[in-house]
Amino acid sequence: MQISNGYNYQDNAATRDAPWVRALFIGIASIFMIVMLVIPLLAVFYEAFKGGWDLYVAALVEPEAVSAIKLTLLTAAIVLPVNIVMGVAIAWLVTRYKFKGKQLVTTLLDLPFSVSPVVAGLMFVMLFGLNSTMGGWLESMGIQVIFAVPGIVLATLFVTFPFIARELIPLMQSQGDSEEQAALTLGASGWQVFWHITLPNIKWALLYGIILTNARAMGEFGAVSVVSGHIRGETNTMPLLVEIAYNEYNFTAAFALSSLLAALALLTLIVQQIMSKLQTRKYAKGNDREAITAPALVIPATEPAKATDAKN
C-alpha cells in the first residue's frame, strides 16, 4: 500500500491542466467505470432479486449451493494461512538475504500472473492425475488429489501465493533493515525482532495482501474448473456452480450466487478503503506529532550564551 505524497499537480501553474482537459479526463473515466463496472454490477443484483426475496434465499439454501459456499470458504480458510506464512517468508528472503538465484526467485514469483489459470490446472492434473506416477502412488495410499478438495486447494494456492509477497517486497526494500539491526545489537532475538519491529512495520501491506488473496481465492474459476471434476455437491465452488446453473437456465440460482460473490467483493473493497483511510490518518498523525515535538529538540536560547562563556 502506498501513501500519497500530498503533491497536487493542479496547484502548480507549471503542471496545471486547462479546465476542459480535466473535465474531459474525468468524463471519460466516469463513463468507462459506469459502463464497465457499475451497470453490470447493478444488473447482477437486479436479476438476483427480480424474482423476490423468497426465491433468492431459496436458491442460496439449496444443498448444492450450500455445499459450494462451504467449499469456497473452506478453500479460502486453508489458502490464506499458507499464503501468509509463505508470503512473509519469501519477502524476508528476497529483501534480507543476498544469494545466487535471487533474480530467478523474484521472476518465478510472477509466474502465476503470466500463466493462464487453465494451464495451471492442467499442470496439476498431469502431476497428480491417476495416470501419473505421483498421482497413482497417492491413490494407492488412499489420498485423492485431482477431482477432490486437495486439488482445488493446490490450484488456488498456485494462483494466489504471489499477492502477499508482492505487497511486502517493495515496502520492506524501502524500509531497509536498520531498525532490525539496531534491535539485534541491543540483544533482541530473531522472534522479538520480527514481532516487535518487522511485523508492525509491514502490517498494513500484509493486511492488504490478505484481502487481495482472499478475493482471488473465492473467485478463482479457471484452475479450479480443471482440477475439480465438477462433482455436484462435492467439488463445485461458487464460481463453478454459477456456470452450471446458468448453462441449465437456472438464472435465479446463477445470479443469486453471483450476487453473493459480488457482495463479498464489495465487502473486500470496503475493508480496503477503511484500511487505506486508517493508514493515511495514522501517517498524518505521525507527521503532526513530529511537528509538535520538533521544537523540543531546539537548544534553548540560554545555552549558546553558556557555551560562549565557556569558550571565553
Residue 42 banded pLDDT, cuts 50, 70, 90 = very high
Residue 283 predicted with pLDDT over 80: no
Nearest partner of 158 among 219, 223, 75, 71, judged by Cα: 223
Residue 5 predicted with pLDDT over 80: no
Q: What is the phi/psi pair of residue 12, to 5°?
A: -100, 130
Q: What's 130's DSSP letter? A: T
What are the residue boundaries of the structural domains of the chain, listed by start?
51-285
Q: What's 3's DSSP letter? A: -
Residues sharing a CB contact under 8 Å with residue 170, sequence separation 6 or more, in sequence order: none
Question: Measured between alpha carbons, how far is 290 from 284 in angstroms, rounded to an integer?
Answer: 10
Question: Measured between alpha carbons, how far is 228 from 238 in angstroms, rounded to an integer?
Answer: 12
Average pLDDT estimate for 167-193: 89
Residues sharing a CB contact under 8 Å with residue 172, sequence separation 6 or more, in sequence order: 91, 92, 95, 96, 198, 201, 202
Residue 310 predicted with pLDDT over 50: no
Of residues 65 and 266, more confidently modeled: 65
Average pLDDT estimate for 84-112: 90
The pTM assigned to this predicted structure is: 0.79
Residues sharing a CB contact under 8 Å with residue 196, sequence separation 6 or more, in sequence order: 183, 188
Question: Measured between alpha carbons, how far is 159 from 82 in angstroms, rounded to an integer?
Answer: 13
Element (H, E) at 300: none
Question: Measured between alpha carbons, how far is 3 from 133 in angstroms, rounded to an integer?
Answer: 50
Nearest partner of 78 among 143, 15, 149, 134, judged by Cα: 149
Percent with pLDDT over 90 in the chain: 40
Residues sharing a CB contact under 8 Å with residue 22, sequence separation 6 or more, in sequence order: 10
Residue 292 banded pLDDT, cuts 50, 70, 90 = low
Lowest pLDDT segment from 69-78, 210-219, 232-241, 269-278: 269-278
pLDDT in tens, 101-116: 888 888 888 888 888 8
Return the number of other C-beta atoms located less than 10 Å from residue 57's C-beta.
Answer: 10
CATH homologous superfamily for the domain 51-285 = MetI-like (1.10.3720.10)
Percent with pLDDT over 70 in the chain: 87
Average pLDDT estimate for 29-37: 94
pLDDT in tens, 138-150: 888 888 889 999 9
Predicted pLDDT of residue 187: 87
Element (H, E) at 308: helix 302-311
The three grid cell numbers given for residue 297, joined into one nine-digit string: 529538540
Q: Which amino acid is at 44?
A: V
DSSP string, 210-227: HHHHHHHHHH--HHHHHH
Lowest pLDDT segment from 94-103, 109-118, 161-170, 283-292: 283-292
Q: Which amino acid is at 52?
A: G
Of residues 26 and 19, more confidently modeled: 26
